[in-house]
Every structure is written in C-alpha cells, then in structure tokens.
Structure 1
C-alpha cells in the first residue's frame, strides 16, 4: 500500500462533513492530522461541538479539533439551518463530547503543522467556507509552497445552489475563496457538478443498515433529515453527500475524474458574486495549477463510505469488548 495521505480537514459539520470525517478516519489511505472548524453551516460553537461529537461516534476522540474563524473576512455571518437544522446536525441525538476543542486557534494549527512537516507532505481539505485557509496563507505565506495540494468542496463550473450561480461555501466568504484560488498551490475544486452525483439513495442506506452498528444508525439518521431538507429546499429526491467526495478523491482518484482548467472567483457582479468561473474555451496550459472534478463513480464512492463505516464500527465494538474484559478481570 502506498503511503497514507496526511491531511488537515477544515470543515463546518454539517451532515456531509460528518460523512467526510467518517471516510477519512475509516480508510487507511488517509491520515487525519486534525480537524479545524470554520463558521458556515451553523455558528462556530455549534459546528465545533458537532466535530467533537462525530469523533465520539467514530471512537476517535484522539483526533485534535481546533476552532477557527467564526465569521467571513468582510461579510456578515450566513448559516444554513434550512439544510442542516438548528444544531447543524439535526436528525440524530448527538453524543456529549468528552473534551473541549484545543486552545490553539485553527489557523495557527494549520500554519504550525504545515511549517513543521516536510514540504509536499500535507494536503489541506476544505469542506466549508475558505476563511481559515485564506487567513493562514496571508499570515504565513510560506505555507503555500509547502502544501502538497488544496482540495476544496465548493463552487461549481455549471451549477450553483445558494444563488443561481454560486455555491454556499464560496458565496459565504467569496473574498476568502478568491485568496485561496489565487494562491500558487495546486488546487482541486470538487464542486456541485460532481457532488450532485453523490446521492445517498435508499439502496445506500440499506447497505449501511446491514452494518448493524450505532455508527451506521447515526449515518441513517443524518441522511433522513438531510433527505427531507433537500426535498423541501433543493428539489432533490435523495441528498447529495458533497463533502465526502473530497476524501474519496484523495483515496482513489479513479473514483473522481478531474480535468485541468483555470479558475477564478467572481467578487463584483451584481448577480454573480461567489461564482466560480472555469475557462473551458481552450486546453489548459501546462502550468495550470487548477483542476475541477467532473464525473463520479457512484458505486465506487459508496463502497468506500460503507467500508469506512464498517471498519470504524468493528474497531469500536472491539474496543468495547476489550474494555468489558478488562473490567471483568479487575473485578475478579
């Protein structure tokens, strides 16, 4: 097996962020160095708690969580309760976190990790607004040349969801997105054109139900709320699990096809602020540092997710059994 991809996941959990965390923790191709949170799907305090609760469900409370920016660089706070509920993870009973987030700010954690690591060994994965990544690049510009790759769930080259042409993560903080897209690091945009193919169908849920574990039921509860929200507000029969597509791309690039194309973020248009503009007019230059995700292997994607839930569930069950045996031995 090739060496694991070392990543920092910058996120705003969020139903689909939760699945991204499960996939990152449940596949040996990924080494999750830590989670940084950013205000987006809900307020920073809520989504940071959500990250800690998801780690409890996954049996991986060892993963550090660092709270980051609570608001966009220059714009007002915008959240999405109609999609993710008042908690940000409505539809399930969230376990109480056993610890608080780390004291170090998320932006400082990103900088410190990248600067301490060998160049080209850490990938930044962003599944929320790009405020933390923009601040990190501005506070310590040297990280740009040291990062292996930036993978963003956001935008779309033909689709929008928060406006006619803008996707939520980009629209919330377009100035931050413009900074991140304009930096010299390699950047892959996993946008709506791809993620709208990652539908959690009834067949997918049945496969997860067969895992027969608390984590599987947690997933099913999340998807139940998510499905209703997408039916009511986006017109989807089944919910697209956007954010996990970034992790699938890193695990197996064959599951997420990409094409190289220059990208920019619109900041001034009266009706197009937050639009991610992909220039397909001619073949991309050899030095083009951007690419966009285009086509998803739906079956392969869900194979990865179901397997990750199975792996985490088995590890949790094994840990519980070992703990019970130890307790019995102590009583004897």
Structure 2
C-alpha cells in the first residue's frame, strides 16, 4: 500500500523519501527517473549507473541528460562496475535503441565532478552516515549492489528500504523462456544479493527491511498504450495533442511543443515498435515505473514473503529466479515478492506527476 499521507499546514503531503537509484537507462528506466524527478517529496541523493541495456558510459550520459532536462542537474551521477561479475556483458540495442532511449536524443551536459567518485564506495559511505534513512531503487542488474554488500555486509540493516525490479517466478521470462533481463545480465550478482539477505535474515534482520521484488509477474501488468502520450499532452496543456499510432512510419519523431513530452514520446515510440516486433502488440511494458512508485511510496501493491534464489549453473535455466513461498527449503524469507498491484491507478498517477513537471519546466524555460 502507498505510504500514508501526512498533514502539514493544512495541506496533505507525502512523507519525504531519500533515494539512491541504480539503473541502466533504458527506456523504462528513463520514464521511471522522470517520474521520480516529478515527485516533490523524493530527494534523489545519487544516481549510480550499471551496464545493462547499454554500456555504462552511455547509461551515465543518458542519466545526466535526463536529470538536466527534468531540472535536477545537481544530482550526482556515478559509475561503478563496467562488467557483470563473471560473464561477458550483453546489451540490448534491439529493445532500447543504440543509445538506450529509443528515438530520443538529448545533449549530454557532462558533470565531471561526479564521474571521479566510485558508486559503490558512495553507497556504503552514505548508508553508514545516514542509518535507516536511505531507500535504494535497483532497476538494473544487481552488480553494483552485490559488490556493495561484499564490502559492507551491514547494508541490510543500514538501509531503510530496498526495491528491486527483476526476476520472473510463475511467469514467462522476457530474455529466455524462464529468465528476466536484469537477472539474466548478471545472475551471479543477483544470487549473491539474495544470499546476503538470507544470511541477514538468519541473523535477525527485520522482515520490513527485506528487499521488495517487483518481478515480471506484476511489472508486465503495467502495459502502456500509445494513448498515454495523448493523455499526458492534454495534462500538460500542449498546443496540439500528442498522437502516436501503430500506423505511423517507424521512427516518426514527436513535434510536441513541450520538450519532456517530446523526449518521452520519442523514447516510448521505439518501445512500442519493439513490442510489436515480438507479437505483443503496439504497447510498452514499463517495468521500472512500477518499481519507482514502490520506492517513492506512491503506488498500491501487495507482497508475500519468500526465499528467492537464482540459477547460475544450468544452461537451460541460466538466470532463472525461483521463489519458495512455502518454506520448503527450510530457509528464512529473504524477500518480499510483489503479488498484486493497480496499473490503472498507477498510470493516472504517472500522467498527473509528469504533467505537473512538464508544465513547470515550460514555465521556467
């Protein structure tokens, strides 16, 4: 459930969230980041970049450009690892485009100050300096987080909350028949993360601090239709409504008067085209937005405790996540797996927040 609203000076406000984000931007990562920039109660402490959808330098460039567009250029963008723990990096230009954000383009404003900082060291120092205050959103392969847990095994106790977008349980994978993309890119890292939380649970870690896992079982319920962009442009008050149709030539670019609408439309159009190529229809599964809403405390969801592990040996099932909901392994729960959510309410929330941000950016330009 969303975190309760609190009253301040007669107005309702969301409780403040201090957020560390690790992503591999990525079209749905970009949508999620724009959404979080639109949440006034969310303070993004840092954005760490992990290789996945594209290489890590491109991820960082995408993050810097989008933060600048969304009016958050002060957020440090950090780089950690450049490869998975044990296997070669595989990127996915066919899914997200050669630069990771579909047909969208933005100039990279660069921010060399943050590029000298190591992402993993930053996480550990921030968690130690702010025990119980930081929420972590992981919408990329878990490589950086696995290495952070190696260096600081007390992280599960030091962090306020951890949200992971990854895995597929009683659901088809989107990379292999059983494996989800983020986990498949670095299954050894994911296995380490869940093993670390098993060890923490055995040492008495409170269940409220177990990672909340947003797997394909529920993220693919966030199935965006092209008319979302029309609704967004109307919410923004654009001079002309944004119309994206399946009959448009591939690669058609937005002419919207609003730069944020234009950027998101060009990115998401590529995603619609990709899903159609794989016979899923002219739609887009925006996995990372849902995980962002969980981290921000703004979206409805329900969870079940489970013991999660990852297959790293079998060629047939490589990268597959397995959840023991019944305790058959005799191990304590190491995750809270999301089992229900509300996409209709989530998309209404997304339109409202992005619309307000886009209007604000236009006023300030």
Normalised TM-score (structure 1): 0.90
Q: Secondary structure at the match of 1:158?
A: coil
Of 54, 71, 85, which residue of structure 2 is paired with 1:73?
Answer: 85
Counterparts in 2 of 1:63 and 1:173: CA distance versus 1, 3 Å: same
- How much is the aligned-residue C-alpha RMSD, in angstroms? 2.1
How many Å apart are 1:227 and its aligned residue?
Answer: 0.6
- Superposed counterparts of 1:196-275, under 5 Å: 196-210=220-234, 211=236, 212=238, 213-233=258-278, 235-252=280-297, 255-275=300-320
Counterparts in 2 of 1:124 and 1:113: CA distance versus 1, 3 Å: same
Question: Would you say 1:35 and 2:50 are equivalent positions?
Answer: no
Q: Can you give the 5+ residue segments of structure 2 that lack an aligned partner in the other structure?
A: 1-12, 201-208, 239-257
How many Å apart are 1:149 and its aligned residue?
Answer: 2.0
Q: Number of paired residues?
A: 319
- Superposed counterparts of 1:1-332, under 5 Å: 1-100=13-112, 101-117=114-130, 119-159=131-171, 160-183=173-196, 184=200, 186-210=210-234, 211=236, 212=238, 213-233=258-278, 235-252=280-297, 255-281=300-326, 288-320=333-365
Which stretch of the first structure deviates more once superposed, 137-146 or 189-198? 137-146
Q: Secondary structure at the match of 1:35?
A: strand
Counterparts in 2 of 1:319 and 1:55: CA distance versus 1, 3 Å: same
Q: Can you give the 5+ residue segments of structure 1 that lack an aligned partner in the other structure?
A: 321-332
How many Å apart are 1:200 and its aligned residue?
Answer: 1.5
- CA deviation vs aligned residue, 1:221-255 (integer Å, no higher than 9, x gap): 11101110121136343110111111111334652
Contact 1:261–1:279 (8 Å) recurs in 2: yes
Contact 2:226–2:282 (8 Å) recurs in 1: no
Normalised TM-score (structure 2): 0.82
Q: Secondary structure at the match of 1:165?
A: coil
Q: Which residue of 2 aligns with 1:327?
A: none
Separation in 1, partners of 2:151, 2:145: 10
Separation in 1, partners of 2:153, 2:161: 15
Counterparts in 2 of 1:234 and 1:51: CA distance versus 1, 3 Å: farther
Separation in 2, partners of 1:47, 1:113: 22
